[in-house]
Structure 1
């Protein structure tokens, strides 16, 4: 018999401003402990040394994680020019150096091919699986791993600052699965000077913005109190990228039982993903077909 997980049945989102030096999983565990939550997860891993928005889903909100993971995200990051590392960030060993320092104009021109639909090879020290094993494990074992390119949509990539000739600060808006470390590596290669990420910060992810995030210190200070509960955002925020359809009370009953339910007319096209609500509360996510929502995720009322 499966062991029943302890904790509160609490649903929603808590936005955390993740500090450097801690894993995303550790942040989730901290939030789960502080809220005494039965279930928690996050939408989009940040590297341990990266900072910024980590959206933690609680309870039923974990069912909306894929929609935040798929949403656009924005990062600011500083690239150290003139050096390549084996991890494409400051955690690794320097493997190549150059005295070449491109001008701002050269950098702006080199950024253009990185915008739009691009193919990106993830870093060798990443969680990508190769023959069932994580790439970083193979790399640590000294194996020369080959990782296939992956498609990435880059909405925007801008030069926002040039602190000195060795560093450049960029801002990128991209879709799911982007590796900022790969952008730094490939930009350095395109400029002929090498490059790696010095600092990385996620400034927003879907509807969640860094200025709304709690620090780990704030979470510790408010742990196990109603003050922390007051910062929990509705699970419906995790569905902001999808159209909302209002359903009838009868439709809500059918949807909650896993059956297609009637929704009120809207401009949603046949076959579109959408979510149904009753009195502003999420009932289900699914596919719209001829006046009904066919559910693939149903939300359980607390």
Structure 2
């Protein structure tokens, strides 16, 4: 007889406002203990020195955590110009300094170069791996590893506050964008160097920081209140088109069978799939692949082992 997993079977998403100084994994484990949840995961790390939106997944929601990895993200960052540091942020040692003499007009002109598709070289102080070892471990030893340039997209780059030597920017960008590198590259273009003073993630896809719960507040909540602030697993899937199945197709789909629908897609597309129970209650089945001729194949399914369905 198999050993029962400790904790409660909790399915849902917690939008956490992670504080500065805490790693993403530490935040996850703390929230997991507070919920006494069996299974937990996050949707991609946020640097300990950064604060802001960290979606945490529990139970069946962990099956869809990867769907946010490719999503656009939004950051609010304050960049200090005139000082370049060894880490690209305020924790590092100053390795170059120059008086920032740019005007607002000059700054706007330089900023224009960083909108749209740009090329970045990932920083040494990052979690990217070389032969299985994170680059930051090489960096801490003073070693420099060659990194391949990568294309990223800066869909919006707006000035929130202009008070040189500090400028606060709101950045909307594609996956894989390094905001530290963006700040350093802007400083390089201005000829004075720069590093990030603060970094806060404010959105991932259609998830926003305004919906997030402060960790201290979450800790002070009762068990019922903590459960109440969890969002349903399909909150991670809102960027996918919905497909609804009738009762017969629901049973087939849950058994791993392909079903034919009235829906169509120009090319094979990932969709979120809803079924209907005998009591006519609609519920999430999981994620499927929809072809141009209306055939829907299961991809990742919700498990209803502990449910009545």
Please indicate the TM-score interval, normalised by the length of the shorter structure: over 0.9
1:122 and 1:258 map into 2 onto residues whose CA distance is 41
Q: Which residue of 2 aligns with 1:63?
A: 63
Among candidates 282, 285, 294, match of residue 283 of structure 1: 285
2:39 and 2:141 map into 1 onto residues whose CA distance is 34
Which shows bigger deviation, 1-10 or 55-64? 1-10
Which shows bigger deviation, 265-274 or 198-207? 265-274
2:116 and 2:4 map into 1 onto residues whose CA distance is 46
Deviation of the 1:101 alpha carbon? 2.7
1:252 counterpart SS class: helix
Q: Where does the alignment leave 5 or more consecutive residues of structure 2 unmatched?
A: 277-281
Among candidates 246, 249, 268, match of residue 265 of structure 2: 268
Which shows bigger deviation, 275-284 or 238-247? 275-284
Cα offsets for 1:115-162 (capped at 9, x unmatched) = 112221111110001122110011112211221112212110111111
Q: Which residue of 2 aligns with 1:89?
A: 89
1:4 and 1:124 map into 2 onto residues whose CA distance is 43
Are 2:201 and 1:202 aligned?
Answer: yes
- Give structure 1 regions of 4+ aligned residues with deviation exceeding 4 angstroms: 1-4
| RMSD, aligned α-carbons | 1.6
Which shows bigger deviation, 96-105 or 20-29? 96-105
1:96 and 1:3 map into 2 onto residues whose CA distance is 58
Q: Which residue of 2 aligns with 1:106?
A: 106
Superposed counterparts of 1:220-239, under 5 Å: 220-222=219-221, 225-239=223-237
Which shows bigger deviation, 227-236 or 203-212? 203-212
Is 2:100–2:164's contact at 8 Å kept on the other side of the alignment? no
Cα offsets for 1:232-272 (capped at 9, x unmatched) = 10111111011011112222222222221233x23533411
TM-score by length of 1: 0.94
Aligned length: 299
Q: Where does the alignment leave 5 or more consecutive residues of structure 1 unmatched?
A: none
Q: Which residue of 1 aligns with 2:254?
A: 256
TM-score by length of 2: 0.92
